[in-house]
Each structure stands twice: as C-alpha cells, then as structure tokens.
C-alpha cells in the first residue's frame, strides 16, 4: 500500500531515483540466498565482466559496493589518495559541491575551481594550474561528469587532453553517477582512472549499489594510499576476487539479480542505442521548454545534459510550488531546485528505462502545472514540439522489426 495513495501510476521524472522496469522488479522478487554458495560467486563473476562494458573498459577492475553514490565517491578517494594530497575539483552545482565537501572532510588539500551555476567546469583554469605544477603536487583531478542540479555535462575528453598536453601524472577521477549508461562514456579511451556510478540512475535499479571501476594506475596508487578506510577498502575485495568467492561481506542478493536483469535490457537494446535514446528524449524536452517560452539553466549548448533539464522560471513564480502542485494534483514527481538555484528552477529527469510516450505524459503534466501557477502557457505547445520531433526521429523498436 502506498504511504500516500494516488490513483494510477506515479509519474517519476526526477533525475534519480528513476523508474524501475518490470523485468528488473520481477528479477528482484526472490528470497534471500546463501552468498557463500556456488551460485552467487558464479553470478558475481559474470556481472563483474559485464559491468566493464558500461564503462567501456577492458582494463578496469570493477567493485560492486553496497552503498550510494556518496559511498562510491569515498571509495574512489580513500583508496587512491593520502591525507594532505592536493586535488583539483570543480564546483558547478550542488553535487560537485558535496563531493568537494567530502574531499575536504577527508583531509585532502582541495584546489576548488568555481564556475557560475549553469556553466561547465572551467578547463582553461585547469590547464593553467597543471602548467604551473611542474613539481607535480597535484595528485588528482576530480570532476562530476553530469551535474544534475543544473543539467550541465562536462567534456571529459578535453580534460584528458589537457592532462596529456602537460604530461601531468595526476589521477583522473570521475563521478559518473548520472551519466554512465546514459551519456557517452569511454573509460579506457579517455584515460579515466576511477569512474563511479549509482544503481538508482541510468541503470534503473533501486538505490543501494555503488559501482566503482578502477584503472591499473588507480590500483597501483591504492597500494601506497594512506587514507583510512575499512568498509570501502579495495584490498579486501581483491583478496576475495583471488579466492573466487568475491564478497568480503554480505551483498544484496536481490540487487545482484536486479543488476543482471538491468544489464540484459541495456545489452539487448544496445548501449549505443541507449545513449542515442537519451539524446533524443533530452532534445524533445529542450524543444518543449523552448516552446513554453522558458529558458534552460544550462548556459551553452555544449554543456546540455541528456539526462536532466533544469528549467528556469520567471521571477514571479516559486519553482518549488510547481514541484509541490505537480505531485499533489497530477501525481507527477519533478526535481526541486537545489541550493543556489532553489526556487529558481525545476528539473525534469529523462534518464533510465524510459520512452517517448512516457516523457510526453510528463511534459503534458508540466504544462498543466505551469497553467495552474499562473504562467501564460498555451496548452499543447511543448507537447506538440516534442511530439513532432519524436515522430520524425524515433526508430522502430529493434526487436519488433
């Protein structure tokens, strides 16, 4: 029974947690098992190999950690760095701010590069800092690939090029919580040393699994890193990998079977097709916003996110009222504006196992809410713009051709 009942389905369009496909729900609807039996190590071994595919790596070592994205952050940092190590990190929104806060609280010397919220990371400043660091005191560059508070995606390929141009040995650590399995991500090609994601985002699973993937360079760094860690210690995982039992402590059996089903759906659709679908859904959403006469929080097209759109409201409208009314009247869940953009934006999440008609339902709901709060919108304007785009771009479903 729902805690607060509403007829029909809740239309979940926050940028995570996202809708869970029925196939995944069915796969998780099972009893507990003994994780020391032969079945769970056999399942885990295959999962670890298949997880590498979503990072686009052949050389990385993945860790399936029972945690959230915040725990995955901590795992990435504490296994590769020592207290007092200098990092460069970019503050462009709420989640990059929180990662910086975590780095500082863990005792790292964080060189913060701040941009206006709605802009991407200032990579020119990164270049100047790396050029000046001839003694190689910078031990890691930490960047959020996709900042969900503002709908901004950073250019990871350019970060790698800057590191290479200055022949700088700093580790390249990437928060891919809301990007991996939705946006183009190439761990090996871009020389990412640690990448991480969360189960509740584009994988379309419940919250509770942080997936971290470490390059050989990161594993080597972990041998000398002096940060305190126990629960997140990669050495414990690697020890049990060698033993063939894989788990240093009890995993969520249900999430493992859910991950198996989620990966199967992604591979059946094709990862590149999944990425293309996210771009298509995002483009339709942006066309709707434009048709409504509203603006995207993201200031340049090069930074547009394909997993979330942050919509700026006029000054006479409080964006939290849009979110509140959408849930109370239409059973539609939208994302609040956070911190510096609180009250100024609402967010439409369009990631995970999602199709065009589901998104059009969300856009129709947003139009009604905007009308409710006094915005002079023509009903159907955004839905029409998105529908026209989808009608011209949506391919046939591959399994039904």
- pLDDT at position 1 is 56
Class of domain 11-18+270-392: alpha beta
Nearest 10 degrees: Cα torsion 223, 224, 227, 232: 0
Average pLDDT of 377-399?
Answer: 97
Q: Do domains 11-18+270-392 and 22-267 have the same CATH topology?
A: no
| Residue, of 1 and 157, whose pLDDT is higher | 157
Assess whether pLDDT exceeds 70 at residue 2. Answer: no
Q: How many CB atoms lie within 10 A of CB 250?
A: 10
8: left (phi over 0), alpha (psi -120 to 50) or beta: left
- pLDDT at position 398 is 86
Average pLDDT of 322-335?
Answer: 98
The dotted CATH code for 22-267 is 3.40.640.10
- pLDDT at position 157 is 98
Let me know how long the chain is: 401
CB 255 within 8 A of CB 261: no
Q: How many CB atoms lie within 10 A of CB 7?
A: 5
pLDDT band at 5 (very low <50, low <70, confident <90, very high): confident
Q: How far is CA 323 from CA 58, 317, 319, 342, 351, in A?
A: 42, 12, 7, 12, 18
The packing angle between helices 69-78 and 94-105, to 10°, is 40
- pLDDT at position 401 is 87
- pLDDT at position 63 is 98
- pLDDT at position 4 is 84
Query: For the segment 356-372, what is each residue's pLDDT rounded down to a tens digit?
Result: 999 999 999 999 999 99
Q: How far is CA 230 from CA 36, 75, 132, 249, 323, in A?
A: 21, 10, 36, 12, 40
Residue for token digits 């894989």? 246
Query: Which residue ranges make up each domain of the chain?
Result: 11-18+270-392, 22-267
Strands 210-214 and 194-198: antiparallel
Query: For the segment 47-93, what is each residue's pLDDT rounded down to a tens digit?
Result: 999 999 999 999 999 999 999 999 999 999 999 999 999 999 999 99
Residue 350 to residue 360: CA distance in whole angstroms: 11
Q: How many CB atoms lie within 10 A of CB 315?
A: 8
Closest CA to 133 of 103, 82, 88: 88
Residue 47 to residue 310: CA distance in whole angstroms: 34
244: left (phi over 0), alpha (psi -120 to 50) or beta: left
- pLDDT at position 268 is 97
Residues 6+ apart with CB under 8 A from 122: 90, 113, 115
Query: For the segment 306-327, what is each residue's pLDDT rounded down to a tens digit?
Result: 999 999 999 999 999 999 999 9
């Amino acid at each position: 029974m729902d805690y607060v009942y509403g007829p029909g389905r809740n239309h979940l369009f926050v940028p995570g947690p996202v809708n869970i496909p029925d196939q995944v729900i069915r796969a998780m609807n099972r009893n507990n098992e003994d994780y020391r039996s032969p079945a769970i190590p056999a399942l885990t071994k295959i999962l670890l190999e298949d997880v590498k595919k979503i990072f686009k790596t052949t050389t990385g070592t993945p860790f399936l950690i029972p945690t959230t994205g915040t725990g995955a952050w901590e795992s990435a940092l504490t296994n590769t760095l020592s207290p007092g190590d200098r990092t460069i990190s970019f503050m462009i929104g709420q989640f990059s701010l929180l990662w910086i806060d975590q780095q500082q609280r863990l005792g790292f010397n964080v060189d913060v590069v701040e941009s206006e919220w709605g802009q991407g990371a200032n990579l020119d400043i990164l270049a100047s800092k790396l050029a000046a660091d001839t003694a190689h005191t910078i031990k890691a560059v930490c960047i959020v690939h996709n900042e969900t508070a503002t709908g901004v995606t950073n250019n990871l390929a350019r970060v790698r090029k800057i590191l290479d141009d200055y022949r700088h040995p700093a580790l390249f650590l990437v928060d891919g919580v809301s990007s991996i399995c939705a946006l183009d991500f190439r761990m090996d090609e871009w020389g990412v040393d640690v990448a991480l994601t969360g189960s509740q985002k584009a994988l379309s699973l419940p919250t509770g699994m942080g997936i971290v993937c470490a390059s050989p360079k990161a594993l080597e760094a972990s041998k000398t890193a002096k940060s305190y860690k126990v629960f997140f210690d990669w050495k414990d995982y690697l020890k049990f990998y060698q033993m063939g039992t894989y788990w240093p402590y009890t995993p969520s059996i249900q999430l493992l079977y859910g991950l198996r089903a989620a990966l199967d759906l992604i591979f059946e659709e094709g990862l590149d097709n999944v990425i293309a679908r996210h771009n298509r859904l995002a483009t339709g959403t942006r066309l709707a916003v434009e048709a409504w006469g509203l603006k995207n929080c993201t200031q340049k097209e090069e930074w547009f996110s394909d997993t979330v759109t942050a919509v700026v409201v006029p000054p006479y409208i409080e964006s939290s009222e849009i979110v509140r009314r959408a849930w109370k009247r239409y059973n539609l869940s939208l994302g609040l504006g956070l911190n510096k953009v609180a009250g100024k934006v609402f967010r439409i999440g369009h990631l995970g196992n999602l199709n065009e008609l589901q998104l059009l339902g969300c856009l129709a709901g947003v139009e009604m809410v905007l009308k409710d709060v006094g915005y002079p919108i023509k009903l159907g304007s955004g839905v029409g713009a998105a529908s026209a785009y989808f009608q011209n771009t949506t391919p046939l479903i591959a399994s039904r051709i």
